[in-house]
Amino acid sequence: MTTAAILGSSGYSGQETLDRILAHPELELVALGSDSLAGEGAAALDPRLNGNLPRFVTNDEAAAAGADVLFCCLGHEAAAAFEPPDDAIVVDLSGAHRLREAALYPSWYGFEHPAPESLAQWSYALPEHGPVAGRLLANPGCYATAALLALAPLVDAIDPSSVVVDAKSGVSGAGRALKPSSHAGFVLENVSAYRVGTHQHAPELEQELGFPVCFVPHLLPVRRGLLATCYVEPLEDLRPLLEAAYATSPAVRVLPEGLQPELSRVQHTDAAEIALFSDRSTGRAVVVCVIDNLGKGAAGNAVQNANLALGLDETAGLRLTGVLV
């Protein structure tokens, strides 16, 4: 068995990664890292976790456990300061290694990157966007994942100056830490735009697409799920490009004409749905992508990356089949 450890396993992305490892036929969990729960049994995170799992240890202890693959589910600054072992595959679910230019971190993430020379060693890892390469893998942001799935196959067939990404995510995208914008009194019966023009996934999109886009995120009054509506000026027929890009993808479905993407079909899964529409009034194309922000937008993509880096079945441990109600 290939061994795995999780750093920051008490957060949402850590808990979701743990759930997928428990369902994985070829990964054996050897360390659960959590500075806040160190010394506690696994049931301290969730009473449904039985006594067969290792007890929580500090994140430093989990990192030193000798696992073949480490899932780093720490905050951005903590992950940026983390020194990966020399002999392990590391999948970082934070934003600490997504941007190639260290100079972007103060303005977009609010801190100076402590190891700017290390950024070149990390690969931006969205399997559908390019081959997973190396042992240090930077998991994309959830908004960037949905927008890139919608737009990356189309970069040579659209006017780059026309692109607008209007995206909406469930409250779990903000993480587990308490903050006023996550309170039920703010979220319920409300939809709000936030970080307009300043969201940290914007430079990520520019880096991977090769041009800047107008990106506006919104908070939905749901627990999980993300919908990105991308408005573009097409230069040719876009549907063949999308269908060719995802013809063999196990995780991404291009829907037939007339079928609408729905959050409910991807919530709690690691799948993505993409649909293409034409605006009758303007001739613009509208590409809609839905994912689960904790699934394909975080833990599901991380496990998919680890599978590919380890040479395992790409879909092992993922939630891709079944009919949810």
pTM of the complete model:
0.96
Query: What is the C-alpha to C-alpha distance for residues 156 and 233, in angstroms, rounded to an integer?
Result: 11
- For 183-221, what is each residue's pLDDT tens digit? 888 888 899 999 999 999 999 999 999 999 999 999 999
- For 23-37, what is each residue's pLDDT tens digit? 999 999 999 999 999
For residue 147, give the nearest of 172, 175, 128 by alpha carbon: 128
Average pLDDT over residues 101-124: 97
142, 214, 230, 289: which is the annotated catalytic residue? 142
Query: What is the C-alpha to C-alpha distance for residues 224 and 172, in angstroms, rounded to an integer?
Result: 6
Only one residue has tokens 């030193």, namely 64
Radius of gyration of the chain, Cα coordinates, nearest whole angstrom: 19
The amino acid at 225: G
The sign of the dihedral angle between the CA atoms of 99, 122, 127, 15 is negative
pLDDT at site 228: 98
- Per cent of the chain over pLDDT 70 is 100
- For 34-67, what is each residue's pLDDT tens digit? 999 999 999 999 999 977 899 999 999 999 999 9
190 DSSP 8-state letter = -
Query: What is the C-alpha to C-alpha distance for residues 107 and 271, in angstroms, rounded to an integer?
Result: 32
What count of other Cβ atoms lies within 10 Å of the Cβ of residue 172? 22
Average pLDDT over residues 110-116: 97
Query: What is the C-alpha to C-alpha distance for residues 108 and 200, in angstroms, rounded to an integer?
Result: 5
Q: Spell out the residues 6+ positions from residue 267 whose beta carbon is closer than 8 angstroms to its own.
A: 224, 225, 292, 295, 324
- Verify whether residue 142 is a known catalytic residue: yes
pLDDT at site 178: 67
Write down how long the chain is.
Answer: 325
